Structure 1
Amino acid sequence: MSLLRRLRANAGDPHPATVSGFTVGAMFCLCGLYTFFTILLPTPPGFHVGAVSLIGLSAVLGGPVLMALPWARIPTAARLMIAPVAMTLIALHNVAAGTDAFRYGMFFFLVFVWFGLGEPRGTSLRMSPLLVIAYLTPLIMRHASPSDLASLSYTLPLYLTVGELLAWRTDRLRQLQERLRRLAEHDSLTGLPNRAAFMAALQDRCAAPGPVAVLFFDLDGFKQINDRLGHAAGDDVLVQVAGALRDIARPGLDLPARLAGDEFVMLLPETSAAEAQAAAGRAVRRLGELRAVDGTPVRASVGVAAGQGIAADQLLARADTAMYAAKHRPESAA
């Protein structure tokens, strides 16, 4: 994949690791460009234009590479190795650019902004020893005054406060996004994936190689349970059914879901028609063990559809048709 295509892919990837890597890469680019801009400004004594330009060029060239890396597949520890690299570049820049207060501290500040926006809480604290070394080394090399050395006593708390506050805020936003995503993709009563989540998973599976099957469940006599015992009793039956489907699903493979009302489905990846029929039989027996609050047994009709290279909506429609056919036969699976 070309660098440009990888950049476009990462720009739209919501994975937290990708967002963090893309963010720090963008910061490298922007800081490198800003370094070139500072050359045009009045400079302090001892400012080395060539060295500062080389450091800025390194950041500009390295930024797109960082933005394009597959961060979702790279361990967190490897991603955090960017921090010592960044602080080393900043220290070299400060050796070459002098001890002007704004120039000296700005890039360190941006590193901690990255920690806050892209990394877990506590990262700023863990990286603070690196900051102390990178901050003090250029000052010592330039024989800075005691007041310049003492500036660490207020810059370090500032950086840590900003980094940790941003990390706390970012963590809260991610938790909120996760709750909203779950609400959008799951049934509020049973906790199972809803129709939208199921169809997305089914479409992905149908587009992949290998056989796939769908079980379509409809509870028999559910309306009578609702009418006779009340909606609370009906809800209890639905929750029991959801639990039973979770119990029989193969962990990490099968996906049970609630479509609507008393209709449930289960996605069975890598499953032939014969295997799906056997799974339907097990499901019917498991559901037959359930009881409403008054002891009424729970019964279900099950439709089975299996195939390979078939459209998701077509496979679901076949399972739906098979379920209605099952309602008119003594067996409960078709």
Structure 2
Amino acid sequence: MYRILGKTLAIAVLSTLASLLISFAFVPMLGGKVAGAGLVMTIVCPIAISIPASLAHFYQAEKLRSANLALAQARDELAAAYARLQHQAQRDALTGVLNRAAFMAELEAQSRAGVHGGLLFIDVDHFKSVNDRFGHAAGDEALSAIGTVLAGLSRGNDIVGRLGGEEFAVFLHQASPERMLDHSQTIREAVAAIDLQTPAGIRIALGISIGAFHCAPRFDPVEALAAADRNLYRAKSAGRNTVVA
């Protein structure tokens, strides 16, 4: 409000000065004299006109400025909320990695981009027994811990997702077959090293089987995942807690 009053007074002063300047410049040229009532009118009129007009103008301008600021803030908040919702829609609520739909969409994007890489299909060994022996809360904690390990070991352009239940998938961007196998073993060892304990202090041993498949450029995501799944089945048949490529 003080800013509006300050601007209004400034306009009143400038209007008065302009009125005086015009009067003293032109009235004598017309044979008149700026004095008495004429001088008073020269001062009073611009003040009487400019103050209410300026107040109304600046008040409306301030309201418009405040409305624009509020609108910009609301737009930013809406954009942030949309980004959060979009992020949440792509994420598995329990593990924080991509959900199946988002993972497959990202895998399709990698294929369209013409990149190659290693696709890992991961299954937690004997997960049902973890739920049966220690409860579903322990099972959820195990899945969350595995998701954290997978995400922590990934590089910038790698993709990590939970396909459902105790199944995860990882795509290693531009990875060679050698890196794919090395990374698979690193993941397997990291999961085995997870220190997960029950409230009673009993350690819950975790193991994973991995089916790995190296994807050539322009690979078919569905076929590649099926190939990795077949290798996962072979890993399960070979005794679990192993990698088959």
Residue 185 of structure 2 is aligned to residue 281 of structure 1: yes
**Equivalent position of 2:230 in the other structure:** 321
User: What residue in structure 1 maps to residue 168 of structure 2?
Assistant: 264
- Opposite residue 173 of structure 1, the aligned amino acid is L
**1:333: Cα distance to partner?**
0.6
SS of equivalent residue, structure 1 residue 154: helix
Task: Select the residue among 180, 187, 197 that pairs with 2:102.
Answer: 197
* Residue in structure 1 matched with residue 74 of structure 2 by the alignment: 169
Q: Once the 2 structures are TM-superposed, how far is the Cα of residue 183 of structure 1 from its aligned partner?
A: 2.5
Opposite residue 191 of structure 2, the aligned amino acid is: L
Whether contact under 8 Å (1:205, 1:212) holds in the other structure is no
Unaligned runs of 5+ in 2: 1-6, 20-45
Superposition map of 1:71-82 within 5 A: none
- Distance between the aligned counterparts of 2:64 and 2:132, measured in 1? 63
Q: Match for 1:198: what amino acid?
A: F
Q: Per-residue deviation at 1:327? A: 1.0
Within the alignment, does 1:214 sit opposite 2:119 as a pair? yes
For the residue of structure 1 that corresponds to 2:203, the secondary structure is coil
Is residue 2:210 matched to residue 1:305?
A: no
Report SS of the residue matched to 2:169. strand
Matches within 5 A, 1:24-103: none
3-state SS in 2 of match to 1:305 = strand
Residue identity over aligned pairs, in percent, reads 29
| Residue 174 of structure 1: how far off its partner (Å) | 2.2
CA offset at residue 148 of structure 1? 4.4
Q: Mind listing any 5+ residue stretches in structure 1 that lack a counterpart?
A: 1-131
Q: Is the 8 A contact 1:216 1:263 kept in 2?
A: yes
Q: Give the letter for the 2:225 counterpart.
A: L
Native 8 Å contact 1:206 1:212 kept in 2: no
TM-score (normalizing by structure 1): 0.54
Amino acid at match of 1:320: D
SS in structure 1 at match of 2:132: helix
User: TM-score normalised to the size of structure 2?
Assistant: 0.73
Structure 1 residue 296, shift from structure 2 partner: 2.7
1:150 shift after superposition: 4.2
Residue 152 of structure 2 is matched in structure 1 by 247
User: Please, what is the CA RMSD of the aligned residues?
Assistant: 2.5
Contact 1:219-1:262 within 8 A present in 2 as well: yes
Give, in angstroms, the shift of residue 314 of structure 1: 1.1
Matched, 1:296 2:201: no
Displacement after TM superposition at 1:291 (Å):
3.9
The answer to whether the Cα contact below 8 Å between 1:212 and 1:270 also exists between their aligned partners in 2 is yes
TM-superposed CA distance for 1:321, in Å, is 1.2
Higher RCO (C-alpha 8 Å, min separation 6): 2
**Preserved CA contact (<8 Å) 2:211 2:229:** yes
| Corresponding residue for residue 333 of structure 1 | 243
Does the aligned pair in 2 maintain the 1:276–1:306 contact within 8 Å?
yes
**What residue in structure 1 maps to residue 141 of structure 2?**
236
Aligned mates of 2:242, 2:176 — CA distance in 1: 19
8 A contact 1:186–1:193 mirrored in 2? yes
Equivalent-residue separation in structure 1 for 2:57 and 2:84 (angstroms): 40
Check conservation: 2:119, 2:215, Cα contact below 8 A: no
With over 3 angstroms needed to count, the CA separation of the structure-2 counterparts of 1:223 and 1:291, relative to structure 1, is: farther
Number of positions where the alignment pairs a residue of Structure 1 with one of Structure 2: 197
